[in-house]
Amino acid sequence: MDMERSQFLVETSWLAEHLNDPHIRIVDMRGYVRTVERNGVQNAQYVGARDEYEQGHIPGAVYIDWSSDIIDLDDAVKAQVAPAARFAEVIGSLGIGDQHLVVAYDAHPSAQFATRLWWALNYYGHDQVVVLNGGFAKWLHEHRPLEESIPTYPPATFTPVVQPHLRTTATEVLSLLGQRQVTMIDAREPGQYTGEVVRDNGRPGHIPGALNIPRDEVINPATGTFRSNKELARLFSDAGVLPERQVVAYCNGGVAATTILFSLAMLGYPNLTNYDGSWNEWGSRQD
């Protein structure tokens, strides 16, 4: 079951030694989901953090705003992955080509924006992507170098090749309900799962049959890094998530779900799908 974690995660020490490697492109994915909760209703705003990037970032890193750069601006459902042509244009304009290894990092406690890029690149057929374990917080804590200058790279060719099995739709999810060979995972906080907290104007509750594994469960709170594969295997096994079943993960906007999918991928689970519309879409449906 275990796969080499280095296929998915790199440590800060490794990145520090490879900052000048021309084969690598480092991407700063810092951003926020800012929420205000009143009387059980949680309103959310999706924002980037380009200003923080400009104040200091890992040397050589380019910036992608998760909330605007790589989303579908024409989709009524918030935060859907950008269409292939737009995604390729953004990625290529940053100097990221088919030949590059992408190292993604953010400052989120669950690395969900970095894993969102990991998923999106894989969805478009680029599996040369890893996440910085511990992210920007660990890099800062270790007093590693920062820079304020904005690097520029020659435009590169990024060729999107859609992997349809990595993304699913509301209609497909509806058809999967109750099927024994499918496990649904809700990566949201427990309050949203139970319906005690409602996001924006959506319905309360969760997709029928879904398990609740909040995305922060895969992170070691003492270190801010991903739990060991042994710990992750126990977490998912205890929850009844079996590798022989298809796993469909969702959250509010298909972002936090990617942290769960990333963790399962490290364990070698072969059939992992992101319901990109997630509760932003499902919570507004009437069926």
Length of the chain: 287
All residues at 6 or more sequence positions from 209 whose CB lies less than 8 Å from its CB, including other chains: 177, 178, 184
Q: Out of 71, 251, 256, 267, which one is annotated catalytic?
A: 251
Whether residue 128 contacts residue 103, with contact meaning beta carbons closer than 8 Å, is answered with no
CA dist 102 and 92 (Å) reads 12
**Tokens 């304009």 found at:** 93
Q: Is 199 a catalytic residue?
A: no
Stated as kind and residue range, the H or E segment containing 38 is strand 31-38
Burial class (CB in 10 A: 0-12, 13-18, 19+), 16: middle
Strands 211-212 and 182-186: parallel
* Alpha-carbon span 12 to 136, nearest angstrom: 9
Give the CA distances from residue 200 to residues 41, 78, 91, 127, 192, in Å, rounded to whole numbers and listed in that order. Answer: 7, 12, 31, 34, 11
Active site residues: 251
